[in-house]
Chain A
Amino acid sequence: MAEAERPPRPAPRLLTWSLGSFHTALFVAVLIALVYRGGGLGNLLGGLSTGLGFALYAALWLSTWWCTRRALRASWETWASGRVDPEETIARSLRWGAATGGLFLGTLVALVAVPWLAVPLLLIATVLFPRWSGPWPRRASVLVDWIAFTIGVLLLGLPLLIGAVVGLILALVDSLLFDVSLYLLQITIHGSAADGL
């Protein structure tokens, strides 16, 4: 098979898991901090029980993990090597950030409509699905992507817009932290001038 036809290698699972979890936690923590500084946090979260809070967070976590995984699929090797194409990064972060917004609402609707689906949905998505291979999981992936974008469009594009903006900001943060970790890897292997290595 020619080099150009080689399918992209899937990103390391730890990379997908950590980035998906990081994006979710950072988004929620920044949102909480900003709303608290503005004085509206009590009213915003009023009536939220611990169980409902966890269900909302789990829906966002699942959606973010899924879209991070899809965004990294074809791009993580360029990120890992430090050869990032800025235009491609911006387009990818806008697209998958928007998909996260749609998928979050879709997951939320599914969990509210059929609460007993929560545990099987989480298990299939995070434990079983990444281990499956072949045409059916690929088709299922495309179906989930379409559901995400369709829900976003049906809701007048608002979740897509919010997701796209958040996705772009997170891509900038990721880009900076990837560069820091690349520098750390280089001194880990070669040492710094001060070490005399």
Chain B
Amino acid sequence: MDPHSLSWLVRLVPVAAMAVLLGGAVIVWAVVLQVKAPVLPDQVRLLRAAATPYEWAFWGATGLLVSSGVGNLGAFGAGLPAVSTAWGQKLTIKLALVLLLLLWSLVRTLWVVRLEVADVLMLSVAGHRCAQALYGGTALLGLAILTVAVSLAHG
């Protein structure tokens, strides 16, 4: 592969992965918000039909984002700014947000898996709030990470 195509691919992969991660969370969150609690069987099926493919895509996108992030840090080599610099503090914040997103997201995915395994047909009012919090939280954390990442990219 020529250097130009490789450089284009290196930029495309994390952008596409973030689009899947953030866009997917917003879509599922919107689906959750438009159903009323307690959620009835037809709407639960709709919710599961939106959430399950997203969970598959989310973990694939996360793997691509983390691996490309490692590669990008590697490109700095010994010139990587120290923790004490403004750039270093932003990177520390980004890493903390990534760790929080990973923990939050495993709870969210386990909740979806449990809905499938237990064949849950109705969601209580608390269950509806839980779905809102899980997908809304994912979207907000994704947005926060994107904001810090853009700031890091521009120095």
Fill in one digit per residue for A163-197: 1 if any B CB lies within 8 Å of its CB, else 0: 00000000001100110111011011111101101
- Give B84's nearest chain A residue, CB to CB: A39
In Å, the complex CA distance between A32 and B75 comes to 14
| Given A48-B74, A180-B107, A195-B125: A21 and B60 interface contact (C-beta under 8 Å) | yes
Fill in one digit per residue for B87-121: 1 if any A CB lies within 8 Å of its CB, else 0: 01001100110110011011101111111111010
- Give B95's nearest chain A residue, CB to CB: A33
In Å, the complex CA distance between A184 and B70 comes to 33
B63 interfacial by beta-carbon distance below 8 Å: yes
What residues of chain B lie closer than 8 Å to A185, measured between beta carbons? 111, 114-115, 118, 120
What residues of chain A lie closer than 8 Å to B38, measured between beta carbons? 191, 197
- Which residues B31-66 have CB closer than 8 A to chain A? 38, 52, 55-56, 59-60, 62-63, 66
What residues of chain B lie closer than 8 Å to A18, measured between beta carbons? 55, 59, 106, 109-110, 113
| Given A42-B78, A50-B71: A14 and B130 interface contact (C-beta under 8 Å) | no
Cβ distance A100 to chain B, nearest Cβ, rounded Å:
15
A1 interfacial by beta-carbon distance below 8 Å: no
In Å, the complex CA distance between A12 and B48 comes to 15
Cβ distance B20 to chain A, nearest Cβ, rounded Å:
13
In Å, the complex CA distance between A21 and B3 comes to 30
Cβ distance B86 to chain A, nearest Cβ, rounded Å:
15
In Å, the complex CA distance between A30 and B63 comes to 14
Interface size class of A (residues with CB under 8 A): 35 or more
B82 interfacial by beta-carbon distance below 8 Å: yes
Check if A49 sits within 8 Å of B63, measured CB to CB.
no
Cβ distance B67 to chain A, nearest Cβ, rounded Å:
4
CB contact between B77 and one of A42, A58, A195 (< 8 Å): that residue? A42
What residues of chain A lie closer than 8 Å to B152, measured between beta carbons? none
CB contact between A177 and one of B72, B79, B106, B126 (< 8 Å): that residue? B106
Check if A29 sits within 8 Å of B124, measured CB to CB.
no
What residues of chain A lie closer than 8 Å to B113, measured between beta carbons? 12, 14-15, 18
Cβ distance B126 to chain A, nearest Cβ, rounded Å:
4
What residues of chain A lie closer than 8 Å to B95, measured between beta carbons? 29, 32-33, 36
What residues of chain A lie closer than 8 Å to B103, measured between beta carbons? 26, 173, 177
Q: Which one of B10, B59, B131 has the highest number of Cβ atoms from chain A below 10 Å of its Cβ?
A: B59
What residues of chain A lie closer than 8 Å to B72, measured between beta carbons? 50
- Give B66's nearest chain A residue, CB to CB: A25
Check if A25 sits within 8 Å of B80, measured CB to CB.
no
Cβ distance A135 to chain B, nearest Cβ, rounded Å:
28
Return 21 A-B CB contacts under 8 Å, by A number.
Answer: A14-B109, A15-B109, A18-B55, A18-B113, A21-B59, A22-B106, A26-B103, A29-B95, A33-B99, A37-B83, A43-B78, A49-B74, A52-B71, A61-B67, A180-B107, A185-B115, A187-B124, A188-B120, A189-B118, A190-B124, A191-B126
